[in-house]
Each structure stands twice: as structure tokens, then as C-alpha cells.
Amino acid sequence: MSDPNTVLCVDDSRVVRKAARRILERHGFSVREAENGLAALEACRAEMPRLVMLDWNMPVMDGMEFLVALRAEFGPREPLVMLCTTESEFDRIVLALGNGANEYIMKPFDDGIVTGKLVQLGLLEEAEP
């Protein structure tokens, strides 16, 4: 079982991790950070988060390599994975979905997009209008 309340934020940019953290914490998630795919894989082995928010282009191990390794090791269900990347080509998105991503954000993102995607993933209730 994964911790229902944690998000692992994987991005080689500290600024992006901080921006994501701010949005996620406001919704009550506890956030862990990793700066590349390998560190993220180790973090998942240590404790499985509910959601991985995943950049694509990173040194050491990129997001796609991480995703493939993660699904191979832990199966298709856990954790949820949401790409969050400047890669915005149709084929790249389809590739990520084929490799087991559950959601996809094309950067730049804002609070509204992240929050909406969390709702679609079933991690948040629809905000009352």
C-alpha cells in the first residue's frame, strides 16, 4: 500500500520542484523530492508515494527510463504517474501513456492545471464552484 497522501516530485530544476511543492502542499499533500529518475526509483523503493510528478529530460536517468523501470519493478497500478514536462509532441505523449503514465502536463503549468489534473486522477474532490 502506498501512502495516500504523498507526492514524489521529480525534476532536475529546484525552482520547478519548489513551485510544484507549493501547489501540492496547499492541497494537503506531503511532498518528497528527487532530482533525477534514479533518485526517484530509490525513493519509491524506500517508500511508495501515491503520485509521482515526473519531468522527462533529466540527467543520470530520464523520466521515461524511470517510468519503464518503475512499472517493470512494481507493476502497472502503483504509484500514479503524472508527467510534467516541456515535451509536448503528440507522439511523446502517446509514448508516455503507452509506458504507463496516468496523466500528462505540458509545461508551463499553473495552479489551475495541476489542481484539475489531481481531480481527474481522483486525488482531489471537484472544487465547489
Partner 1 sequence: MNAEGFASIAALVKARSGIVLTPDKEYMLETRLTPILKAEKIADLDGLALRLRDPRAESLARAVTEALTTNESSFFRDGKPFDHLRRIVPKMLAARPAGHKLRVWSAACSTGQEAYSVAMVLSELGVRHAEIFGTDLSRDVVERAREGVFTQFEVQRGLPVQMMVKYFRQEAARWRAVPELRAMTRFEERNLLSDHRMLGRFDIVFCRNVLIYFDPPTKGRVLNALAAQLAGDGVMYLGGAETVLGLTDRLGALPGERGVYAPAALRAGAA
Per CB under 8 A, residues contacting partner 1 are 88-90, 93-94, 97, 101, 103-106, 109, 112-113, 116-117, 119-120, 126, 128-129
Q: For residues 51 and 95, give the distance between their C-alpha atoms in angstroms, rounded to a whole number.
A: 19
Q: For residues 123 and 82, give the distance between their C-alpha atoms in angstroms, rounded to a whole number.
A: 12
| CA distance readout (Å), 85 to 3, 72, 73, 75, 120 | 24, 22, 23, 23, 18
What is the smallest separation between the CB atom of 111 and partner 1, expressed in angstroms? 11
What is the smallest separation between the CB atom of 112 and partner 1, expressed in angstroms? 6
Report the 10 Å Cβ neighbour count for 37.
26
What is the smallest separation between the CB atom of 46 and partner 1, expressed in angstroms? 28
What is the smallest separation between the CB atom of 10 and partner 1, expressed in angstroms? 18
**Residue 20 grid cell:** 510544484
Residue 38 or 116: which CB sits closer to partner 1? Answer: 116
Residue 61 or 106: which CB sits closer to partner 1? Answer: 106
Residue 27 or 38: which CB sits closer to partner 1? Answer: 27
Q: For residues 51 and 114, give the distance between their C-alpha atoms in angstroms, rounded to a whole number.
A: 12
Residue 68 or 97: which CB sits closer to partner 1? Answer: 97
